[in-house]
Amino acid sequence: MKKIALITGVTGQDGAYLSEFLLKKGYIVHGVKRRSSLFNTDRIDHLYQDPHEENQNFFLHYGDLTDSTNLIRIIQDVRPDEIYNLAAMSHVHVSFETPEYTANADGIGTLRILEAVRMLGLEKTTRIYQASTSELYGKVQEVPQTETTPFYPRSPYAVAKMYAYWITVNYREAYGMYACNGILFNHESPIRGETFVTRKITRATSRIALGMQDKIYLGNLDAQRDWGHAKDYIRMMWMILQADEPEDWVIATGKTTTVRDFIKMCFAHVGIELEFKGKGSDEKGYIKSCNGNYQIETGKEVVAVDEKYFRPTEVDLLIGDATKAKEKLGWIPEYDLPALVEDMMSSDLKLMQKQQYLQDGGYRIKNYFE
Ligand code: NDP
Ligand code: GDR
C-alpha cells in the first residue's frame, strides 16, 4: 500500500520541494491550494497530472487554513497517513500589516487541522508535521538556539506561530497524537519567494550585472541569519515523521551571516567586489572592482537602504544548533552557504537573461521589488 501525504501550502517553496521528494519516495500526495485569480502553481506545474488520466499520484484540492469545514472535508476524503502543515502567511514584515489574518491562518489554522484529525478519529493513525520557525526565538535569549531555548517572539507572525507550536505540543500530550514541530531556521532556494531578502538580493544582483537595473534598496543590513538550503530542510520534515517517537526538532546549519555579507557573496559570484560606506539608513554599497564577465563602472552605487523595509521590532541574530537532529535522526545537510549562493545566483542569472530576451522582444516583465 502506498503511503498518503497531505500537504498544506503545496504551492509554496517547501510544499513544492516536499511534493517532489515524497512522490519520488512512492507516496500519493494530496496538496491544498488556495483559489487565486491567476494561476499560482508555477512551482508545482512540473508535477501536475491531468485529472482525467489514470494512475494519478498527485492531487490538488482547493482549500484554506481559515476554513475548518473545508479542512475537515479534505482530511475526511484523503485520510492521510501524514499531514505536513506548511501553509502560512509566512512573511514577517507583512504580518505587521495583516496581524489578525496572520493569527487566523498561522495560529488557529494549525488548531483547525489538529481538531479535524481528532474529530475524524484519525488521531492514532495520522502523523502531523507543524512548520514551526526560528522566529519563535526572536529577541536573543541564548546563542546558539536549541530545542530548550526560551521563546521571545517579535512579530505578529512569530506570535501566531508560537500558538501553533504550543497547540501542537498540547494535542500530542493531551490526546497521544503523533504531532511534531520542526523548528526550522531560514531556508532558501532558487524558488524562494521573491520578497524574502536572499531571493530579492540574488534577483537584483543578476539584474544589476546584466544592466537591467541600477541598484537595490534593502532594510536592515546588520541582521544575522542562519541560512540553509530548502532541499536539505524538507528532507528533515519527512525524517521527523518517521522517528519512533513524536518530538520537536531544531533544523539549522549552525552558522550565521549578515545580510551585508550575503550581498557581497552574491556580487562576488558575478566577479564584482563591493564596498560599503556609511551607517544605518545612510549606508550604501559601491562597486570596488569587476573581474569577470560583467563590467560596471567602479564607484557606482548599487545598494542603498530604505527605512520602509525596517521592521517595528527586529530579530537581530539567529543561529541554531541542530545536534539533536543530527545525532538522533542522522541528518546530514548537503549544502553550505556558498553552495546555496551558487545555486540561487546561477538560477537567477539564467532567469534574468531569459527575461531580458523577452523584454527586448516587447514582452512586459514583472518589475516589483518589495
Ligand atoms: P511560502 O510563503 O513559500 O509558502 C506558503 C504557502 O502557504 C503557499 O502555498 C501559500 O499559498 C500558502 N498559504 C498561505 N496562506 C494560506 C491560507 N490561509 N490557507 C492555505 N494556504 C495558505 O513559505 P515556505 O514554503 O518558505 O514555508 C513553508 C512553511 O514553513 C510556512 O509555514 C513558513 O511559515 C514556515 N517556515 C519557513 C521557513 C523558511 O525559511 N522558508 C523557516 C521556518 C518556518 P499561495 O501560493 O497561494 O500564496
Ligand atoms: P525572515 O526572512 O524575516 O527571517 O523570515 P526575510 O528574508 O524576510 O528577512 C531576513 C532578514 O533580512 C532583513 N532585511 C530584509 N528582509 C526583506 N524581506 N526585505 C528587505 O529588503 C530586507 N532588508 C533587510 C530583515 O529585516 C530580516 O532581519 C523568514 C520567513 O521564511 C519566515 O516564514 C520564517 O519563519 C523565517 O524566515 C525563519
Per residue, what are the HEC states of 232-265?
HHHHHHHHHHHCCCCCCEEECCCCCEEHHHHHHH
**Active-site option among 8, 110, 133, 149:** 133
- Which atom of ligand 2 has the smallest separation from the CA of 90? 33
pLDDT tens for each residue of 276-304: 999 999 999 999 999 989 999 999 999 99
Q: How would you classify residue 273: left for phi > 0, otherwise alpha for psi between -120 and 50, otherwise beta?
A: beta
Amino acid in the structure at residue 234: I
Query: In angstroms, rounded to a whole number, what is the distance separating the alpha carbons of residues 295 and 291?
Result: 8
Question: Does 62 participate in catalysis according to the annotation?
Answer: no
Looking at residue 51, its pLDDT comes to 85
Q: Determine the residue type at 337.
A: L
Active site residue 195: no
CA 262 to ligand 2 centroid distance, Å: 13
> Which ligand neighbours the alpha carbon of 38 most closely?
1
- Predicted pLDDT of residue 370: 73
What are 179-207's pLDDT values in tens digits?
Answer: 999 999 999 999 999 999 999 999 999 99
Q: How many CA atoms lie within 13 A of 351 on its CB side?
A: 18
C-alpha cell at 273: 567586489
Model pLDDT, residue 365: 85
Dist. CA 149–CA 271, nearest whole Å: 40
What value of ipTM does the predicted structure carry?
Answer: 0.99
Ligand 2 centre distance from Cα of residue 184 (Å): 14
Ligand 1 atom with the smallest distance to the CA of 135 is 43
Atom of ligand 2 nearest to the CA of 219: 23
Q: Which amino acid is it at 43?
A: R
What's the gap in Å between 128 CA and the centre of ligand 2?
Answer: 26
Region 98-118 average pLDDT: 98
Q: Does 369 score more than 90 pLDDT?
A: no
Mean pLDDT for the chain overall: 97
Please give the pLDDT value at position 367.
73
Query: How does pLDDT run across 353-367, given as a tens digit for each residue?
Result: 999 999 999 998 877
In angstroms, the Cα distances linking 11 to 20, 76, 164, 210 are 12, 22, 21, 29
| Nearest ligand to residue 309 Cα | 2
Phi, psi of 80 (to 5 degrees): -75, 150
> What is the average per-residue pLDDT within 161-173?
98
53 — pLDDT class (breaks 50, 70, 90): confident
For 129, list phi and psi in degrees, rounded to 5: -105, 125
Q: How confident is residue 368, by pLDDT bands cut at 50, 70 and 90?
A: confident
Q: Is the pLDDT of residue 208 over 90?
A: yes
